[in-house]
Structure 1
Amino acid sequence: MLTGRRYRLVVTAGQAAQCQEFADICRSVWNTGLEQGGRIGVGRVDELRSAGR
């Protein structure tokens, strides 16, 4: 049986600022991947089709 756990993280102001910076970087990387994913995905499908896969 799986059980859930809850934890409360108490951080200092400096740690909160660093956590926010990490989150902003992750969001930027995620959004860039989403933007490029459509273009790269279409090209990859065309490449695989032309190769007969």
Structure 2
Amino acid sequence: MNEQEKDCIYNMIDLADNAILQGDKDHALTSLYFIKKGLQALSMGMEAN
């Protein structure tokens, strides 16, 4: 995983965290969905290597 990919995942985690703290369930779930998809894509890429 390169630095850009790490930064992207950390930014998505921050967005989810902020949404949770603000009580915004919809944005929290959306952020968690994209975190999941991003991690799945990264793991698929690592398996291909």
TM-score, normalised to structure 1's length? Answer: 0.47
User: In structure 1, what residue type is equivalent to 2:29?
Assistant: Q
Stretches of 4+ aligned residues off by more than 6 angstroms: none
The structure carrying a bigger helix percent of its residues is: 2
- The answer to whether the aligner puts 1:33 opposite 2:39 as a matched pair is no
The unaligned stretches of length 5 or more in structure 1 are 1-11, 39-53
Per-residue deviation, 1:37:
1.1
Higher radius of gyration, 1 or 2 = 1
Once superposed, what is the RMSD of the aligned Cα atoms? 1.6
Indicate the percent of aligned positions where both proteins have the same amino acid.
Answer: 4
User: In structure 2, what residue type is equivalent to 1:28?
Assistant: L
TM-score, normalised to structure 2's length? Answer: 0.50
- The answer to whether the aligner puts 1:21 opposite 2:32 as a matched pair is yes
The unaligned stretches of length 5 or more in structure 2 are 1-22
